[in-house]
Amino acid sequence: MTTTTCPSAAVSPRPRRRLRWGRVPIYLVLGTLCLGSVAAFAWVFMISLKTTEEFLTTSPWALPQALHFENYVSAWRNAHIGSYFGNSVLASTIGAGASVLVSAMAAYVIARVEFKLNDFFATYFLIGYMVPTMLTIIPLWFSLVEIGMGSGLTPLILLYIASGVPFNTFVLRGFFESLPSDLEEAATVDGASPFRVFWQIMLPLALPGLTSTFLINFLSLWNEFFLALIFLRQENATLPLGLFYVSQRASYSAQWAELFAAMLIASVPVLVVFGLLQNQVTRAMTAGAVKG
């Protein structure tokens, strides 16, 4: 038995996208910026593979005569980048995670629970986000000194948590307001408490927003320098402050290749994490949009 195929059933080729000449200048500018960023990373990587003698005697644009990957080992051990790296992971992860969790609870109440002070608390968090940290650092420092927490990772992490709550609450409030209320109402009818509704229903639905907010906070705290300079010492410094100490060490000992290696160690993990989480956030938001 033979079958015939209708001409109308044939798959038509995809239409080709026409090049919009008005966007060509934008593409050229973005391409130039991208090449500039890649060239900067390539130059730092090239310098990090040189010896101190090569760095001081050859052109900054000259290729290294040999690949000295031991500079990275020296930066990790001798310059204590490994210790600074661990402190940054600890402070950034705990600070961003706890801040997002606390903000999620506050944002859920403001967005989903109706009471007279909804607008007041929303404005309160917004004002807290608008106040610069530098204006509050002096009373904060004196307050922490009074309770014996004038230095160390613990007060720094507490400040990281508190400083991220206003922004996170402002962002997550809009996300919670956009979530459908069908599952929430069904769970309430079945006898679930508001606490259980939040943890088992609304929080999983808000996972894309929580992931995005955590990513923004993590990257911001990873590069934070001002609070770390005030509350940390060299033995418990994070990476931004540690790079400052490494640069001082390089100016006295001329270990410039070690400094460039430390810079790459500090920057590459952030780029990798951002790339991985960016794809995860995109997939989660697409799935959430289809389900909603």
d(CA 102, CA 213): 12
Q: Which tens digits make up the pLDDT trace of 150-176?
A: 888 999 999 999 989 998 998 888 888
Contact 196, 173 (CB under 8 A): no
For the chain, how many structural domains are there in total?
Answer: 2
Give pLDDT, residue 279: 65
Q: Tell me, what amino acid is at 197?
A: V
Q: Tell me 64's DSSP state.
A: P
The pLDDT assigned to 62 comes to 85
181 and 249 within one domain: yes
Per-residue tokens: 138: 């002096």
pLDDT digits (tens, 9 = 90+) for 88-111: 999 999 999 999 999 999 998 888
Indicate whether 200 belongs to any domain: yes
Looking at the structure, tell me whether residues 53 and 184 fall in a common domain.
Answer: no
Range of the domain at 31: 24-68
Please name the residues in contact with 233: beta carbons below 8 A apart, sequence gap of 6 or more. Answer: 151
Residue 70: enclosing H or E segment and its boundaries? Answer: helix 70-77
Q: State the pLDDT at residue 126.
A: 81
> How much of the chain is in helix, strand and coil states, percent to nearest 5?
75, 0, 25
Tell whether 43 and 106 lie within a shared domain.
no
Q: Please, what is the average pLDDT of the chain?
A: 83
Q: Is there a domain that residue 159 lies in?
A: yes
Query: Given pLDDT bands bounded at 50, 70 and 90, which one contains residue 276?
Result: confident
User: Are residues 234 and 144 part of one domain?
Assistant: yes
Q: Please give the Cα distance from 283 to 102 (Å, whole number).
A: 25
Same structural domain, 42 and 134: no
Q: What is the pTM of this model?
A: 0.81
Name the pLDDT band for 16 (thresholds 50, 70, 90): low
Percent of the chain with pLDDT over 90: 23
pLDDT of residue 102: 93
CB 76, CB 265: distance < 8 Å? yes
The pLDDT assigned to 226 comes to: 92
Residue 10 reports pLDDT greater than 80: no
pLDDT at res. 104: 92
Cα 235 to the chain's mean position, in Å? 24
Q: Are residues 48 and 153 in the same domain?
A: no
